[in-house]
Structure 1
C-alpha cells in the first residue's frame, strides 16, 4: 500500500527482518533496535526502508506495533528469542502456485468482528459499503447496523442474517489483502464460502453473489428445526461405517480433512449417532445449527431456489476456482442457479479440493475470515500429503483490527 504521511503512534506499522538463520535474524533485530534508538528516524521511514532497500532472506520475522516504542519492544524480544504478541517468525516455503484464498462456511462469526476495521481501514469500509448496497434489494435488515451492533439490529443467530453478513465480511477482507499486494493465485470455498470465493475470483458479480447468499439463506429458514449437523474427529471411511445403522436418515455432509468429517440429517437419528460415538470413544460434537445442509432435507427447497436464483449470470474468470462440490478446478461459467442448489445439497469435498491445490503446487493458504475455521482441516491434509506448506488466518475472535491483520500479513510473508 502507498505509505501514509501520517506517522501517528495510533497507526499500525510493520518492521521486517530477515537473514540466513535464526541467529542472524536475532542479530539483525538487535542492530536495528540500536540504530533506531540512536536516531530520530520515524517508524514509517524505518518500515519503508526495510521493505524497499533490503533483500528478503529465507528466515524471516515481522514486528508489528503502534509507534516506535511498541516496535522497539518487539525488536528486543526478537533479538533474544523471547515470544511476543507483536512478533511473527517463519521460514519461506516452496511451491510456485501463489497464494490460495480460502473462504469458510459458517462458524467464523463473532459479535463486533468488523467494528475495528470499519473504523481503521478505508479499503475494508468501502467494500463493506458496496456489499451493503448489493444486499439491500434482497434483505429487510441493514448490514452496517448488524456489524456495528446497533440496538434492534437483526441477530446473527438467524441463518438468513449470518450467512450474508459473513459473505460481506469475507469479500471485504479479501479486498484488504489485495490492497497490500496479495493477489489470489486460486480460490476455494467451504459450502457458503464458495459464494464469496466466486465473487473474489470474478466468476460472479457482487450483485449476483448478494442474490445467491441472501435468497438461499432465507429459503433455508424453512428447514429450521427439522435437522442438525455433527462434527466427527475421524476419517470419512470410518465415519461411513459408523453411519451404517442410519442410512437414509443421516449422511456425510462435509469431508474437511483426514480426520475431520461433518454429518447431517434428522435430529433424532443424530442424537442416537452421538450416543454411539460417545460409547465408542469417538469425539462427536454438535454444530450450532438447527437445519441439515448437505442432506436430503435440502431437496424440499430445490424448486424454490431454481426460481429465486434463475437471474444469476456467472462468467469465466482468470483466477482458478477449485470447487469443493467436485474437488477440482471448474470454469466459473458453471456457477448458475443449479450449481448453487447442488452446493447446498451435495457433500463438501473440502479435503479433495485441498489435495488438488497441493498437487498443483500451491503452498500458501490464507483463510479469509473473521476467525480461522477451516485452517485446521487444511493443515491436516498438508501433513497427510507430506509437503511443506503454510496456513494463515486473517482476523481472530476478539482480534478484529489492523494489528491482527498486520500480523497475519506478516505470517503470510
Structure 2
C-alpha cells in the first residue's frame, strides 16, 4: 500500500493544508514567538530540529493560550512552506502565505461578521473542485443541497460542479442559480464549522434565498424549492433582456435612462457608484453605445440573457407566487437585512409575495449595507466563489466615513483549502473568533 506523501496534512475540516496560528500582546511579542518556533523547528546546522508532525505543531499553537491583539496565521502545504512563513514573520518580512493584523479590542467572544450572499455572476469553471476533495464538511453540505434540490432538477449538482461530460452548462439560468445557491450555503457551513457565526445575513437578489436559510428563516428544503423553481421560471423570459453594471453615481445613471423610459430601469444599487441596469435587448445596445461614447466603465452581468428586477418579471408574477405558496418562513436566529426593503426585516415576512418582490423590485443592496453599518457591523464576509460586492461595500463604508473589514471566501481560480484558510485568517486578524481546532480535529 502506497503511503501518502504528507499524511499529517490529512486532518480536520479541511485537508492538505495546515494553519499555524501565532499571536502576541505587541508586534515585538509576535515576532519573538515566531523566532522561538523557528528555533525549535529549524535550528540550523548546529542544532537538532524538532520532528513533530505539522498538524501537531499547529494543534499545540492553538492550545497554547488566548489570542493576543497582534496576530498572524502561517498557511502551508508542507514543512518548507510553513517554515518559510515563520521565518518571514520573525524577520518582519511580508510573505504571500502569511496573514497578519492587529485585532481591535472586543468584548469576550470576538466580532461576529456579516455573511454576504451575492446574486448571479460569481461562477467559474471548477470553482468547487478543490474543496469538494479537501473538505469533508463542504462536500457533505453540497450533498445535502443536492438532496434538497433533487425533487426539482433532472441533473446532478455534484456532477455539474465537477464538470462531468454530458452535464448542463453553467450559462443556463436554471443551472447556475441552484449551483451558486449550493456554493454559498456550503461555504457558510464551512465558516460555521470553524466557529464563525454570523452576526447578520444579507443577500443580493437570489443571494437572499441563501441568506434566509443561513439566518434560520427557511429550511434547506424550502430554500431549495424557491431557488430551483424561481430559476426555472426565469427561462420563460430568456432572450428578451440583458443586465449591465455601470460604474457611475445612481443619479447620473437614472438621468441617462430617461431616454429609454419603459425599456430600461435600475435593477440594483450596489454602492454609491455601482449600478446595475436591466431591460430590453435593443434598448440595452443603444444604452451601451451611449456609455461607450461617454467613456463610462460598464460590463454585462455574466451568463444573463433576461431582465430581472424589471417589468419583464411581471409576466412571472402568478408563477412566482404559486411556487412559494407552500413556504413557511420562521423567526430567524440571525438578524436578516433585506435588500427588498433596505433594512432589517422580521423573517416571518418572507412569504410568497416577498419572493416575488425579491425578483421584481430594485435590489437595494446599498441601503441594506448602510443599515448594517449604522447598526454597528464592521466585518463583512462574502460567502461566494469569488467576490463581486466588495467594491460597492467599500465605497459605501468610505462615503459614511466609517471603517470596515471586507473579505472574500474564495477567489477566481483560487478555490482550495489554502484560500479558505486564508479567508479565515483574514477574519481572525480583524477580531473574529475562529475555532482553529477544527483544522486539526
What residue in structure 2 maps to residue 99 of structure 1? Answer: 113
User: What's the CA shift string for 1:53-110, capped at 9, x where partnerless?
Assistant: 2332223221101232221111122233443231112222477762111001111111
1:366 corresponds, among 381, 385, 399, to 381
Give the aligned partner of residue 172 of structure 2. 158
Shift of residue 7, structure 1, vs aligned partner: 2.1
1:406 counterpart (421, 425, 430): 421
RMSD: 1.7
8 Å CA contact retained: 1:94, 1:388: no
Match of 1:73 among 58, 80, 84: 84
TM-score, structure 2 length as denominator?
0.89
Q: Of 50, 72, 76, which residue of structure 2 is paired with 1:39? A: 50
CA displacement at 1:315 relative to structure 2: 1.1
The answer as to 2:158 corresponding to 1:177 is: no
Residue number in structure 1 paired with 2:436: none
Measure, in 2, the Cα distance between the counterparts of 1:370 and 1:227.
25
Query: Is the 8 Å Cα contact of residues 9 and 55 (structure 2) preserved in structure 1?
Result: no
> Which ranges of structure 2 fall in alignment gaps of 5 or more residues?
1-6, 43-48, 429-441
> What does residue 4 of structure 2 align with?
none
Where 1:7 maps in the other structure, the secondary structure is helix
Q: Distance in 2 between matches of 1:91 and 1:123?
A: 29
Map of 1:3 onto structure 2: none
Aligned to 1:53: 64
**Residues in 1 aligned to 2:329 and 2:264: alpha-carbon distance in whole angstroms:** 32
Which of the numbers 217, 220, 231 marks the counterpart of 1:206?
A: 220
Which residue of 2 is the match for residue 17 of structure 1? 22
1:283-335 Cα deviation digits (max 9, x unpaired): 22222311111101110111111222211111111210000111111111111
- Name segments (4+ residues, structure 1) moved above 6 Å: 94-97
Given that residues 191 and 344 in structure 1 are in contact (C-alpha distance below 8 angstroms), is that contact kept between their aligned partners in structure 2? yes
Structure 1 regions of 5+ residues with no counterpart? 1-5
Count, aligned residues: 408
Moved more, 94-103 or 290-299: 94-103
Counterparts of residues 247-258 of structure 1 (less than 5 Å): 247-258=261-272
Is the Cα–Cα contact under 8 Å of residues 93 and 389 in structure 1 kept in the other structure? no
Contact 1:234 1:282 (C-alpha < 8 Å) held by counterparts: yes
- The normalised TM-score by structure 1 is 0.94
Query: Does 1:305 pair with 2:320?
Result: yes
Indicate conservation of the 8 Å contact 1:191/1:324, yes or no.
yes
Deviation of the 1:18 alpha carbon: 2.4
Structure 1: distance between partners of 2:32 and 2:105: 25
